[in-house]
Amino acid sequence: MVEFTLTKEQQLAQKLFRDFAENEIRPLAREMDETEEYNMELLEKMKKLGFFGIQYPKELGGEGADTLTYTLCMEEVSKVDASTGITISVHASLGCMLLEKYGTEYQKEAFLRPLIDGRKVSCIALTEPSAGTDASAIKTTAVRDGDHYILNGQKVFITNSGFADIFFIFALTDRAAGGVKGMSLFVLEKGMSGLEVSKNIPRMGIRAAQNCEVTMIDVKVPAENLVGVENKGYKLAMEAFGSGRIGIGAQAVGIAQGALNEVIKYTKERKQFGKTIASFQNTQFKIAEMQTKIDAARFLVWRAAKAKDNHEDYASYAAMCKLFASDVAVQITRDCVQLMGGYGYSREYPVERMYRDAKITEIYEGTSEAMRMIVAGKILK
């Protein structure tokens, strides 16, 4: 069935996310961007309210909501701060999702429960200096040694690694077989000997997110921390990022809507040639076009979320929503800066930050080019 309205509980959850974003995140967003530091008090508040376990069952420690409700959270927080969006998304939609689906009872109790009940935060590490879109090219290794695996390697651009308690690490357990057939997933914990995290990598946008290099030198990991079956990790990686894209789509919608909301407010106040710039047809047409694109992107996100909740094959829906929404976010934030002119370019207003933040949505968790490959692959198979 086609649904374009939210249920009452989704609407009330949306109000919670919106109120929190406006009152708690908005006042900190600019400072966090400028200092490139995430505010840890803010993180703690969100953990307590359940923002880090929205789409997980209560029995496992989660909040018992659905994926669509999670996208509402992603959109509302990203309207005011995309860094907060990615912080939640990386935690909630990748490693946790894999543990819920493939984790052992021990792993669910020891790792998943504290992650989704708000005690701990996670990151997931696939990307390496020489393995981006071609994830199969990873070089990190995990060598079995009795009851343990010994991990060695270097990961890069790992969001949340700066403050994560749990690290989901992809490593080769069969080097000869290569990434697709020889990769496995492990749960590592902060403080394990040989696990090192670098400083935040300087970036163009989402600067408050903690995105660092993770290095492993002879890290001894208990064999019971292997997630799923040995050498079947590539499929897990693809599945995790396939699911994560729904959140990135929602983040992109949030960035675009947040920027447009700023522009609507501004153009109603700003006067040129004796009247508000909102009264010029150019502005009106532009705003109408932008809202139309955002709504279209949002519905693609909701379709993907709904398909996931209904246990349908959502991979191409997720790829489409990310492809379209990220493109919309980049276009719209650029146009919003243009409509606000010099003020849009100034750091006094948030749209310049949103313009910088939007770009990454076309890159991470699968580039737009990779999204086109997935969508075309589904259509042409």
Query: Should residue 44 be labelled a site residue for other proteins when binding is judged by CB under 8 A?
Result: no
Binding flag, residue 112, other proteins (CB under 8 A): no
Tell me if 15 contacts other proteins by CB under 8 A: yes
Nearer to other proteins, 69 or 200 (CB): 69
Stretch that binds other proteins, among 13-21, 76-84, 140-148, 309-317 (CB under 8 A): 13-21
Q: Is 365 a catalytic residue?
A: yes
* Complex with other proteins: residue 50 or 344, whichever CB lies closer: 50
Among 13, 98, 290, 294, binds other proteins (CB under 8 A): 13
* 119 lines the binding site for other proteins (CB under 8 A): no
Q: What is the phi/psi pair of residue 225, to 5°?
A: -90, 0
Min CB(20)–other proteins separation in Å: 6
- Kindly state the smallest distance separating residue 134's Cβ from other proteins, in Å: 37
Q: Which of 30, 64, 223, 295 binds other proteins (CB under 8 A)?
A: 64
Is the separation of the CB atoms in 200 and 227 below 8 Å? no
DSSP string, 239-253: HHHHHHHHHHHHHHH
- Nearest CA-CA partner of 102 in 184, 159, 177, 192: 184
The DSSP line for 127-160 is: -BTTBSS-GGG---EEEEETTEEEEEEEEEEEET
Q: Is 50 in the site for other proteins (CB under 8 A)?
A: yes
Distance CA 182, CA 233 (A): 8
Provide the total of helices (H) and of strands (E) in the chain, helices listed first: 14, 10
Helix (H) or strand (E) holding 185: strand 183-189
Task: Give the tokens for residue 372.
Answer: 């086109």
Amino acid symbol at 113: R
Q: How many residues bind other proteins (CB under 8 A)?
A: 21
**Smallest separation, CB 71 to other proteins (Å):** 13
- Asked if 60 touches other proteins (CB under 8 A), the answer is no
Min. distance of Cβ 61 from other proteins in angstroms?
10
CB nearer other proteins, residue 8 or residue 381 = 8
Asked if 89 interacts with other proteins (CB under 8 A), we say: no
Instruction: Verify binding: residue 48, other proteins, rule CB under 8 A.
Output: yes
Cβ 241 vs Cβ 264: under 8 Å: no
Helix (H) or strand (E) holding 342: helix 315-345
Residue 19 in the binding site for other proteins (CB under 8 A):
yes
Q: Alpha-carbon dihedral of residues 83, 86, 92, 97, nearest 10 degrees?
A: -170
Q: Which of 100, 128, 213, 365 is catalytic?
A: 365
Q: In the complex, which residues of this chain contact other proteins (CB under 8 A)?
A: 8-9, 11-13, 15-16, 19-20, 48-51, 53-54, 58, 63-65, 69, 73
For the annotated catalytic residues, the residue numbers are 365
